[in-house]
Structure 1
């Protein structure tokens, strides 16, 4: 069946969805996006994703006329129209249509807004069971990684290089320290069971799932430390894992072909994944999530 997608105020079959060839998202990657997980037909951490969307808009001097309720309704409509029970809703905002020029229009120019759903097994993911194999690569992305832009060519190249080497993903390294994975935040667990992840800055995306995992860890008396770490430290750690909206928590079992810990998903990363899923489902059941 063809999906129903949202394009600038209209819900249309995916075969009829289109934007202008002069859209700045197409010409300059001048756009931002958010991905929100869907469990049991409901949105997870929606408020956090919308807050980050507004932050990205502000950083790029882009203006979106729709309020948060309207954005929520778009997500709900897409979930209903596509009968999505588990997966994601992808939302993208670009600076809109203008003749090609490096100088972009002012903030009042109408933006282009598109959204669509994707089915994905999130809770029962094979990658969560077997864990990820990752490689390390230099971080060659632009300097404003805290803005969730559609400039994803280098992360795509990193992912493909990982697959070429028989791995699942890449951890990116700058000035000797891991920034993040190609599309998720990177974590390690030291031998004192302290969770370690890079502090927030312009060097990495301010992950919504990262934030929730930190809150859950602290609620369960787990120590969390925000700092950079090297690939060697990660290889010698007790455990490693990544967090993102659609992976939730994936254990990392090897880095550059060297096993992490015992070389299989560790108990702490598996426990954090269960805590996140349980907390999300409980929140949805209590009516705190968005239908």
Structure 2
């Protein structure tokens, strides 16, 4: 399946020119986005994703009006219908629209882009500790913005070292998140994930893993974790999981060049999420 793309009200070709060269999403990364899982052509957890999109835009000083949200949902429906009954990913991008070449904004209507492509999630992941940190006091902390250069650089470094995700500490030396994922550590008989004040994104998969895990009786909760807890993973004393819409709940079986085992709680959480995300389409 080719990528299906919808821009501001119409389906377009993958390489068709559709955005202004002065769109602030291109010139300064002034926008927000969501990546949703496609399950047999249906969009998983769309209500939660749209709510987080609204929060990210508000954090940027932009308000998603009911009419704007209707445009987003119209784009999602058009792309979903064109993509057909596939498993994969659907991305919603909203920018502040056309603006000046500097950082200042001019009044403009939002640019809305929705795109989808088929894909298969890997059952296991390979992670690398990043030499860079996440700033938990950033002006855009916790917002899923299109200003993604830090993540691009960190992920490219991880890929060059044999990984498919980079794990970042925050400036306090605590475990924070991946470039496009949240992280859980199975240690001491519990599955632990950093709290939101660590600077990590409030991931939808993270949120549901906590909710569904608790519901199923798994010992899963938030906890402050030192970045050095990853030494316990490579030593075989703990286990690692990353979560995202592109991964679901994915045990890590290779960390910094060291093969590591998936833990029993990690595997149970993966099995639970894999089952429930197909049974509960919009939790």
Q: TM-score, normalised by structure 2?
A: 0.89
Partner of 2:179: 182
Distance in 2 (alpha carbons) for counterparts of 1:258 and 1:4: 38
Secondary structure of the 1:15 match is coil
Matched, 1:210 2:210: no
Q: Are residues 230 and 136 of structure 1, via their aligned partners in 2, closer, same or farther at CA, if it must alter by over 3 Å? A: farther
Report Cα offsets for 1:23-51 as digits up to 9, x if no partner.
Answer: 11111111110011001111111111011
Distance in 1 (alpha carbons) for counterparts of 2:100 and 2:70: 32
TM-superposed deviation, 1:178: 1.3
Distance in 1 (alpha carbons) for counterparts of 2:218 and 2:268: 11
Distance in 1 (alpha carbons) for counterparts of 2:277 and 2:134: 34
Gaps of 5+ in 2: none
**8 Å CA contact 2:23, 2:96 repeated in 1:** yes
Map 1:100-179 to 2 at 5 A: 100-106=101-107, 109-122=108-121, 125=122, 128=123, 130-139=124-133, 143=138, 144-174=140-170, 175-179=172-176
| Number of residue pairs the alignment of both structures matches | 275
TM-superposed deviation, 1:52: 0.2
Map 1:1-291 to 2 at 5 A: 3-65=3-65, 66=67, 68=69, 70-106=71-107, 109-122=108-121, 125=122, 128=123, 130-139=124-133, 143=138, 144-174=140-170, 175-191=172-188, 193-201=189-197, 203-236=199-232, 237-259=237-259, 263-284=260-281
**8 Å CA contact 1:135, 1:257 repeated in 2:** no
Secondary structure of the 2:75 match is helix
TM-superposed deviation, 1:77: 1.7
Distance in 2 (alpha carbons) for counterparts of 1:133 and 1:27: 31
Distance in 1 (alpha carbons) for counterparts of 2:164 and 2:197: 26
Q: Are residues 139 and 278 of structure 1, via their aligned partners in 2, closer, same or farther at CA, if it must alter by over 3 Å? A: same
TM-superposed deviation, 1:99: 2.5
TM-superposed deviation, 1:74: 2.1
Q: TM-score, normalised by structure 1?
A: 0.87
Gaps of 5+ in 1: none
Secondary structure of the 1:173 match is strand
Q: Are residues 248 and 35 of structure 1, via their aligned partners in 2, closer, same or farther at CA, if it must alter by over 3 Å? A: same
Superposition CA RMSD, Å = 2.1
Secondary structure of the 2:169 match is strand
